[in-house]
Amino acid sequence: MGNEMRTTTPLLELREVTKQFVRSGLPVRALEGVSFSIYPGETLGLVGESGSGKTTIARTILRLTEPSTGHIFFAGRDITHLSQRALRPLRREMQLIFQDPYASLNPRMTVEAILAEPLIVHGIASRSARRERIAELLDLVGLAPEHARRYPHEFSGGQRQRIGIARALSVHPRLLIADEPVSALDVSIQAQVLNLLRTLQEKLGLTLLFIAHDLAVVRHISTRVAVMYLGALCEVAARDTLYGRPLHPYTQALLSAIPYPDPVRERGRRRIILSGDIPSRVAPPSGCRFHTRCPLAFARCASEEPALRSYADHQVACHWVQEHDGQPAPLLPG
């Protein structure tokens, strides 16, 4: 992937986006100079642990949260300072799928009303065309026409997530942002929803930002993957590059922490176990934010924040990797 796509304009681009909140009088640095692009037709997986800023990124892209500094471009246009009114037509082009299919559907509306709402708000279809579009959407996400009359509580978690997906697709968005869309679902239902998202993405040529903490899930759906730690990007690369030859020590530790569902493989496995906790965002560590837990940290890591640099097909923010000309951090057992 990658190179031939780079010649086109990204559908979405974040440039040096920083977000600072104030919580109980203390500044919280939620995002620190985050830059990345998503190209048309690709799925960017955004991975990180809790507090890494994944959801803040989603909210910032949709301008539900205003960035403190930096710029957001959609289809080449700077949307950072657009008025709410000017944003409205753009909201139609960027749709969000939520983590919790229980909380994101109005319990007092039928599925039909839930799916009709965005069509009415955006003035898309006449009454008769709406009915047709709703039937089409239900079919697209694997629900039956008779489901239109039912209420959210009559559905299981997996089915509710299908309704959430249908609602997001109803206005023909160009960018779909899915924030932990399967983490609230049973294992046996996760696979159904993941397959659905992948099939829809291929069928409709969607561009997808897929946010999750589960690296195995992200690998299954993404063409490119970005890893975040405490509000900053550590590493961005094409899927097979990132999983096959991770460079950043945090990416390596994250991959090494995942247990394989295979006891024979698990028995002989050596893990990188990071010491310590994820630091607080109120007082993030100086320099590289990962240095307090990094087994490779040296003096420079505590004083200087590493920039995201390009090494062949990788982007990495790590002093060790930089001083070793793009060699992978030597944490993973060979």
Partner 1 sequence: MRLLPPNAHMTGGEILLAGEALHRKSERAMREIRGAKIAMIFQDPMTALNPVLSVGEQIAEVLRVHRGYSRSDAWQKAIEALRLVDIPDAAKRAHDYPHHFSGGMRQRVLIAMALACEPDVLIADEPTTALDVTIQAQILALMQEMQARLGMALLIITHDLGVVAQICDEVLVMYGGAIVEYGRAEKIFSQPAMPYTHALLASLPRIDGNVHELLATIDGQPPRLSELPSGCVFAPRCPQRFARCAQRPPLFDVGESHLSRCWLAAASDGQ
Report 283-312 residues binding partner 1 (CB under 8 A).
293
Report 37-66 residues binding partner 1 (CB under 8 A).
49-50
Nearest CB to partner 1, comparing residues 61 and 294: 294
Count of other CB atoms within 10 angstroms of residue 324: 14
Nearest CB to partner 1, comparing residues 63 and 160: 160
Q: Could you say which of 107, 261, 333, 334 contacts partner 1 (CB under 8 A)?
A: 261
Tell me which amino acid residue 102 is. Y
- Nearest 5°: the CA angle 38, 44, 49 is 125
Closest CA to 173 of 137, 218, 129, 211: 137
- Check if the beta carbon of residue 177 is closer than 8 Å to that of residue 146: no
Partners of 72 in beta bridges: 14
What is the pairing mode between strands 309-311 and 314-316? Answer: antiparallel
Question: How far apart are CB 45 and partner 1 at their closest, in Å?
Answer: 11
Tell me which amino acid residue 133 is. R
| Residues near 8 by beta carbon (within 8 Å), at least 6 away in sequence | 39, 40
Q: By CB under 8 A, is residue 146 in contact with partner 1?
A: no
Nearest CB to partner 1, comparing residues 67 and 181: 181
Report 169-188 residues binding partner 1 (CB under 8 A).
186-188
Looking at 8-16, 21-29, 124-132, 251-259, which segment touches partner 1 (CB under 8 A)? 251-259
Give me the DSSP letters along 80-100: TT--HHHHHHHHHHEEEE-S-
Q: By CB under 8 A, is residue 205 in contact with partner 1?
A: no
Q: Could you say which of 81, 89, 129, 260 contacts partner 1 (CB under 8 A)?
A: 260
Binding residues vs partner 1 (CB under 8 A): 49-50, 156, 158, 186-192, 194-195, 198-199, 213-217, 219-220, 239, 243, 253-266, 271, 273-275, 277-278, 293
